[in-house]
Amino acid sequence: MNNIIDFYEFRRYRKIKKFLRFVVVIGIIIIFFVSAYVLFITEIHHPTEFPSYIEPKP
């Protein structure tokens, strides 16, 4: 009887391990896309207070 209980616990822990691995992979993908999105948006919309070049004075 102890072998059956250990086998079911092993199966449960294996499922939990697969689920946690899936969650970690999804989290890494989401962090990657969010960081890429933020970089893309900041590249398009430059802050107006700090221009990246010096404007020539007339």
Residue that wins the pLDDT comparison between 39 and 56: 39
> Which token pair is 10?
């092993």
Q: How confident is the model at residue 6 (pLDDT cuts 50, 70, 90)?
A: low
Written as six digits, the tokens of 21 are 């691995």
Distance in angstroms (rounded) separating the CA atoms of residues 44 and 15: 43
Cα separation, 23 vs 3, in Å, equals 30
The dihedral built from the CA positions of residue 24, 27, 33 and 37, taken in this order, carries a sign that is: negative
At 13-53, the pLDDT tens digits run 788 888 999 999 999 999 999 998 888 877 766 555 655 56
Rounded to whole angstroms, the Cα distance separating 2 from 38 reads 53
Q: What is the pLDDT of residue 23?
A: 95
pLDDT for 27 equals 96
Print the domain residue range for 51: 1-58
Split into its structural domains, the chain has a count of: 1
